Amino acid sequence: MAGPSEPPAWMAAAARRWLEDAGAKGDGTADRAFNALPLSGVRVEIAERGRALCTLRVPAHLTDEEGNWHAGAIAVATDDVCAAAIMSVEGMIKVSVHYDISYFAPAKLHEEVEMDGRVVEHKGRMTAVTVEIRKEESGQLVAIGRQWMTASRPKGSQDAAGLWKTASRPKVSQSKI
């Protein structure tokens, strides 16, 4: 049984399933979500407390005219792996409030890459996470992504959606003349 500081096992399982589903759905067809496209063909190697480790063979539809893995596809894949690492600890997808990515070397068409996402810090509702992307064969660094992510709704609120709607309505005076 999970202790108070250890998240339940279902959270890591949910993170794995979320990444695998995105990878299976990212086949480039029009009815698939844009966010899943950069994960097409992803293999989840590890999904555990605060970590998501995936491998991907760079497909043709994610490369530029020179055969390099497109920087935008790397950025979206990094964002997704960050979200999964957080999901494995908190059981929910968070949204990015600060995102930084540094590119070091190109990954080429059909090259195998490893994306290793790890939660590094929690501060209130904010969570810091990093992803290192390396070429699997050589270990050469392709990119490092760093994010601060937060819940889009207040944590633990009874009916966050209802509270938000109520809070945004203007107050109307019912005074009589």
Domains belonging to the chain, first-starting first, are: 9-152 (3.10.129.10)
Q: Is 99 within 8 Å of 147 (Cβ atoms)?
A: yes
Those residues with Cβ within 8 angstroms of residue 68's Cβ, 6 or more apart along the chain or in another chain: 106, 107, 108, 109
CA dist., res. 87 & res. 89, Å (int): 5
CA dist., res. 21 & res. 123, Å (int): 30
Going by pLDDT thresholds of 50, 70 and 90, the confidence category of residue 153 is low
pLDDT of residue 159 exceeding 60, the answer is: no
The larger pLDDT score, comparing residue 103 to residue 30, is at: 103
Dig out the tokens for 128 from the structure: 């810091």
Q: Is the pTM of this model over 0.75?
A: no
pLDDT of residue 160 exceeding 50, the answer is: no
CA dist., res. 132 & res. 152, Å (int): 25
Those residues with Cβ within 8 angstroms of residue 33's Cβ, 6 or more apart along the chain or in another chain: 22, 25, 26
Going by pLDDT thresholds of 50, 70 and 90, the confidence category of residue 14 is confident
What is the predicted pLDDT for the residue at 116? 98
What is the predicted pLDDT for the residue at 171? 41
CA dist., res. 157 & res. 17, Å (int): 26
End-to-end CA distance of the chain: 65
